[in-house]
């Protein structure tokens, strides 16, 4: 295979292709310094940077749709696991108390801090789940060049939701709490704890897996059909 | 990942050419169209009243930062009726005295250092964008990026409260309640995040360009 001058080359071109676009000639504007640039289609594994301030304009991630869909689905499934199993439990002097992920918001609500409970629920469960589900909803049909109904609106809200999904921050909070509690009681870490750690990883990989410019370029092509 | 430096089709900012890039989907379109032709989001060359909005949110977060530190974030009810109210700083000191240095440092950095640095950074950015401070666009852009990325980690303390309140319900042995500072502190984090989002980093570059133009004019005048 590798010896053939022509066919090896052909395979390579297929592997390193740029994503489809409606308009071949595109422009890109730097979000930081507003410098105007040409936005050429680039092969996989290339990042395009601003000539003025050096920040990234866009990048072509290898296997982007597969990554977004696979990690997004994994994040969703693990989120279900994280909801259904015990997160942390502790025992002291024969008394046992455990918590689940939903329990954390519910107990705040029971204490009368409804606003805080809603905020915690939004940042740790609703926003991350919606983010993963939205990404899969948009990216899965894009693998066949199609768009499901409402894909444009979903994609629009996807990027507005992103900063409020705080699984990784909650995870750090749980670790800090564990370090506090170890001195007070016997602590045991549940399945949901590890599941949430995996959600954190998968969600980050899913979002980083596809550049927003690529997602929208592909979506635009799909919507025109 | 390979890096490729993009080529400008002609020198100058997009705003000067009457173009804007969509904040949601990155498409470049004439500002006159008002809405992005691709995703429908509102188009603008510069975020509206960015300095005023950022300052307003920043001032609100500074006000909320006072009760967040003065009031208890957690109230611990011990066996035998003794109650103990913990402030953020009080918690840090307790853990330091218990020799739990990693916990003490984590809470101190996330709840004290990051919010204060973020407020100072945003204040400085607003001053630079308004023209009261000399600027270096490249360095300030990096500061802005940092405030956006690091700010969310302050939420750690709120989540710690949520976990502790849920877990420490050991009947009459020990119970933990959330204090009023928890909500105040969550407010601080949300307000500073919103302040960073409403800031327009491109104002810094406009300023830098205007400065260069003025300098050139002054030099021409001398000759």
B37 touches chain A (CB under 8 A): no
Higher pLDDT, B16 or A171: A171
Averaged pLDDT for residues B21-28: 86
A167: helix, strand or coil: helix
Model pLDDT, residue A12: 44
Question: Domain spans of chain A?
Answer: 5-60, 64-224
Instruction: Kindly report, residue by residue over B38-49, the tens digit of the pLDDT.
Output: 888 888 888 878
Q: How many residues does chain B have?
A: 223
In the predicted model, is pLDDT for residue B153 greater than 70? yes
CB contact under 8 A, A26 and B201: no
Please give the Cα distance from A48 to A39 (Å, whole number).
Answer: 8
pLDDT 10s per residue in chain A (225 long)? 333 333 444 444 444 578 888 887 888 888 888 888 888 888 888 899 988 888 888 988 888 999 999 999 999 999 999 988 989 888 877 777 888 888 888 888 988 889 999 999 999 999 999 999 999 999 999 999 888 999 999 998 988 898 999 999 999 999 988 888 887 778 889 999 999 999 999 999 999 989 988 999 999 888 887
Please give the Cα distance from B35 to B22 (Å, whole number).
Answer: 9
Look at residues B88, B93, B116, B95 and name the one whose alpha carbon lies nearest to residue B184.
B88
Pairing of strands B2-5, A46-49: parallel
In the predicted model, is pLDDT for residue B20 greater than 90? no
Averaged pLDDT for residues B93-109: 87
Look at residues A166, A172, A174, A173 and name the one whose alpha carbon lies nearest to residue A129.
A166
Structure tokens at B180: 């009023």
B132 touches chain A (CB under 8 A): no
Please give the Cα distance from B24 to B182 (Å, whole number).
Answer: 32
Q: What is the dihedral of CA B63, B67, B68, B70, to 10 degrees?
A: 130
Residue B160 with chain A: CB contacts under 8 Å: 173, 176-177, 180
CA distance from start to end of chain A:
37
Higher pLDDT, B111 or A13: B111
Question: Domain spans of chain B?
Answer: 15-45, 49-214
CB atoms closer than 10 angstroms to residue A173: 28
Structure tokens at B135: 């600027």
Count Cβ neighbours within 10 Å for each residue of A93-124 and write b for 16 or more, e otherwise: eeeebbbbbbbbbbbbeebebeebbebbbbbb
Mean of the per-residue pLDDT values of chain B: 85
Domain covering B49-214: architecture: Up-down Bundle (1.20)
CA distance from start to end of chain B:
49
Structure tokens at A143: 């693998």
Instruction: Kindly report, residue by residue over B166-176, the tens digit of the pLDDT.
Output: 888 765 577 88
A153: helix, strand or coil: helix
The confidence band for B94, taking pLDDT boundaries of 50, 70 and 90, is: confident
Residue of B nearest to A158 (CA): B24
Model pLDDT, residue B167: 85
Residue B12 with chain A: CB contacts under 8 Å: 36
Model pLDDT, residue A10: 43
Model pLDDT, residue A13: 44
Model pLDDT, residue A3: 37
CB contact under 8 A, A177 and B95: no
Burial of A72 from C-beta contacts in 10 A (0-12 / 13-18 / 19+): buried
Model pLDDT, residue A123: 94
Whether the ipTM is more than 0.90: the answer is no
The confidence band for B223, taking pLDDT boundaries of 50, 70 and 90, is: low
The DSSP 8-state label assigned to residue B169 in this structure reads B
Helix (H) or strand (E) holding A59: strand A56-60
Model pLDDT, residue A173: 92
Model pLDDT, residue B212: 72
Residue A216 with chain B: CB contacts under 8 Å: 24-27, 38-39
Averaged pLDDT for residues B114-140: 85
Averaged pLDDT for residues B76-97: 84
B166 touches chain A (CB under 8 A): yes
Model pLDDT, residue B117: 92
Helix (H) or strand (E) holding A95: strand A95-99
Residue B114 with chain A: CB contacts under 8 Å: none
B84: helix, strand or coil: strand
Instruction: Kindly report, residue by residue over B185-211, the tens digit of the pLDDT.
Output: 999 999 999 999 899 888 887 777 777
The DSSP 8-state label assigned to residue A21 in this structure reads -
B32 touches chain A (CB under 8 A): no
CB contact under 8 A, B6 and A93: no
């Amino acid at each position: 295979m590798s010896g053939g001058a022509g066919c090896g080359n052909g395979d390579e071109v297929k592997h390193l292709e740029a994503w489809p676009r409606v308009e071949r000639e595109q422009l890109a504007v730097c979000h930081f310094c507003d410098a105007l640039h040409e936005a050429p289609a680039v092969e996989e594994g290339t990042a395009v940077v601003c000539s003025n301030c050096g920040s990234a304009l866009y990048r072509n991630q290898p296997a982007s749709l597969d990554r977004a869909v696979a990690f997004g689905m994994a994040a969703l499934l693990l989120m279900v696991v994280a909801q259904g199993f015990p997160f942390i439990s502790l025992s002291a002097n024969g008394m046992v108390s455990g918590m689940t992920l939903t329990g954390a918001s519910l107990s705040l609500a029971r204490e009368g801090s409804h606003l805080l409970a809603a905020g915690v629920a939004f940042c740790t469960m609703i926003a991350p789940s919606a983010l993963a589900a939205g990404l899969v909803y948009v990216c899965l049909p894009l693998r066949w060049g199609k768009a499901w109904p409402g894909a444009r609106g979903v994609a629009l809200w996807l990027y507005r939701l992103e900063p409020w999904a705080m699984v990784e921050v909650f995870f750090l909070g749980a670790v800090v709490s564990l370090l506090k509690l170890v001195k007070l009681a016997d602590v045991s870490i549940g399945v949901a704890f590890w599941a949430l750690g995996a959600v954190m990883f998968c969600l980050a990989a899913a979002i980083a897996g596809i550049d927003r410019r690529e997602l929208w370029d592909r979506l635009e092509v799909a919507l025109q059909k | 990942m390979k890096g490729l430096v993009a080529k400008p089709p002609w020198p100058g900012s997009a705003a000067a050419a009457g173009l804007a890039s969509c904040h949601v989907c990155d498409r470049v379109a004439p500002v006159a169209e008002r809405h992005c032709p691709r995703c429908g989001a509102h188009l603008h060359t510069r975020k509206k009243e960015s300095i005023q909005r950022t300052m307003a949110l920043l001032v609100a977060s500074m006000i909320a930062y006072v009760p967040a530190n003065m009031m208890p974030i957690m109230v611990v009810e011990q066996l035998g009726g003794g109650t103990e109210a913990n402030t953020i700083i009080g918690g840090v000191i307790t853990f330091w005295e218990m020799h739990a240095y990693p916990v003490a440092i984590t809470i101190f950095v996330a709840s004290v250092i990051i919010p204060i640095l973020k407020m100072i950074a945003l204040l400085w950015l607003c001053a630079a964008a308004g023209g009261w401070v000399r600027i270096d666009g490249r360095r300030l852009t990096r500061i802005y990026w940092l405030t956006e990325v690091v700010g969310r980690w302050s939420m750690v303390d709120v989540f710690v409260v949520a976990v502790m309140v849920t877990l420490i319900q050991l009947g009459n042995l020990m119970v933990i309640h959330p204090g009023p500072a928890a909500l105040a502190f969550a407010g601080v984090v949300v307000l500073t995040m919103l302040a960073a989002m409403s800031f327009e980093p491109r104002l810094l570059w406009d300023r830098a360009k205007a400065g260069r133009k003025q300098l050139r004019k002054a030099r021409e005048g001398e000759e």
